[in-house]
Amino acid sequence: MQPLSRRHFLSSTVASAAIAAPLSAALAGTDKFARDRDWSGNDPVSYPEPAWEIKDKRFTGNQSNSPLQRLWHGVGTDAGLWCEGPVWMADWGCLLWSDIPNHRVLRWSEDDGHVSIYQADSGYSNGHTRDMQGRLIAVEHDTRRVRRRELDGSWTILCDSFEGKKLNAPNDLAIFHDGSIFFTDPGYGIMNPYEGHKATFELPTRVYRIDPAGHVAVAAEGPMRRPNGICFSPDFKKAYVVDSGFTDGPKYPGNIIVFDVKGTALSNAQVFADFKPGMTDGIRCDTDGNLWCGWGWGGPDTNGVRVHHPDASVLAILHLPEICANLCFGGAKRDRLFMCASTSVYAIYVNAIGHVVS
């Protein structure tokens, strides 16, 4: 008798059940989150989506009949190296994201799934968002600046220095309800040539604010070693800032700091959640105030997205086969989660709605 193949085993298991058992049960003890599935989509995965690991019964964000999909994984000379900074462009019908080491911004078109190069000379941009007027804003590692794409297609430099000194390498940003821009400046783009160029730090690592008139001020200096991802709670009373100091060694933080927002100031810094043995990077809130966090760098079981309740409890984990750097909500109803994970872009519909300004 010939040994059963993995595919034959799974097919037999499903066929023998009156109701198809979740793939997580079929793969218990091997790959219960189906991370080694056929990502082409030609080999169906049984619902409910096995990549979800629910930690708290309060979590209702998993859409049980929505599959986790890999939208893009470039190959050959088109391969991505480190995908980051996704932003949903609703009126363009597309997702934009950075492939930082390849010095480009890519575009996935919703209508036919086509991927093309949106920007071939991106300044090694990392994070992206849109302002209240729908203008695209990018933070760039190599040029060490924050830029805005105007509605006529031209670009305006919003900030490239502070008090006469060059920014380190802006990383991520979020829009406040008054239109001001908060951005982080951890300096990864000048630490080595891979995501920019090697250069000397001229400023401390900080969070800055650009007010609607264009004036720049320090919003927070510390306690983060390397302030990274940033977003606001839906009521704008809290600001969440990732500290990815863990990249400098295991003795440093891999957590999220939460601030009170009073007026234009960030104050009362507290540790919101610790992500060791890995760390988080990009973060976004849904309209219920839950915080969705890219996760990785702590082994395969930390690769994916961790969802936290506003009280900091871990609600769920969405497991991916790659380290997830950053994410955003998009689609017509803002209920589709797009994830930039190392060399690929993934997506899944969720039972949650992304905060519109984040």
User: In this model, does residue 320 exceed pLDDT 60?
Assistant: yes
User: 69 or 4: whose pLDDT is higher?
Assistant: 69
Torsion on CA atoms 311, 314, 315, 317, rounded to nearest 10: 150
pLDDT band (50, 70, 90) for residue 348: very high
Q: Give the tokens for residue 178.
A: 């008054």
User: In this model, does residue 23 exceed pLDDT 90?
Assistant: no
170-223 pLDDT per residue, tens? 999 999 999 999 999 999 999 999 999 999 999 999 999 999 999 999 999 999
- Within 8 A by CB and 6+ apart from 98, the residues are 83, 84, 85, 104, 105, 106, 122, 125, 126, 127, 128, 340
Q: Looking at residue 264, what is its pLDDT?
A: 82
Q: Looking at residue 14, what is its pLDDT?
A: 35
Q: Are 280 and 258 in contact (CB under 8 A)?
A: no
- Within 8 A by CB and 6+ apart from 117, the residues are 104, 105, 106, 107
What backbone torsions phi and psi does residue 339 show, to the nearest 5 degrees? -130, 125
How long, in residues, is the chain?
358
Single-letter code of the amino acid located at 322: E
* 3-state SS assignment for residue 5: coil
What backbone torsions phi and psi does residue 192 show, to the nearest 5 degrees? -160, 170
Q: Looking at residue 17, what is its pLDDT?
A: 34
Q: Looking at residue 290, what is its pLDDT?
A: 98
Mean pLDDT of 133-139: 97
Taking alpha carbons only, the member of 217, 207, 224, 119 closest to residue 171 is: 207
Report the mean per-residue pLDDT for the chain.
91
User: In this model, does residue 138 exceed pLDDT 50?
Assistant: yes
Q: Looking at residue 16, what is its pLDDT?
A: 33
pLDDT band (50, 70, 90) for residue 25: very low
Q: Looking at residue 358, what is its pLDDT?
A: 53
252-274 pLDDT per residue, tens? 999 999 999 988 889 999 999 99
CA pseudo-torsion sign 15, 17, 23, 25:
negative
Q: Residue 75 burial by CB count (10 A; 0-12/13-18/19+): exposed, middle or buried? A: exposed
Give the chain's count of helices (H) and strands (E).
2, 27
Give how far Cα 39 sits from Cα of 116, 187, 356, Å. Answer: 20, 34, 30
Taking alpha carbons only, the member of 69, 13, 66 closest to residue 38 is: 69
Q: Looking at residue 193, what is its pLDDT?
A: 96
Taking alpha carbons only, the member of 356, 234, 357 closest to residue 291 is: 234
Q: Looking at residue 357, what is its pLDDT?
A: 67
DSSP state of 75: -
User: In this model, does residue 4 exceed pLDDT 50?
Assistant: no
* 3-state SS assignment for residue 235: coil
Q: Looking at residue 9, what is its pLDDT?
A: 31
User: In this model, does residue 8 exceed pLDDT 80?
Assistant: no
81-94 pLDDT per residue, tens? 999 999 999 999 99
Q: Looking at residue 188, what is its pLDDT?
A: 98
Q: Model pTM?
A: 0.91
Single-letter code of the amino acid located at 308: H
DSSP state of 25: H
Taking alpha carbons only, the member of 239, 253, 242 closest to residue 306 is: 242
Q: Are 323 and 297 in contact (CB under 8 A)?
A: yes
Based on its alpha-carbon atoms, the radius of gyration of the chain, rounded to whole angstroms, reads 20
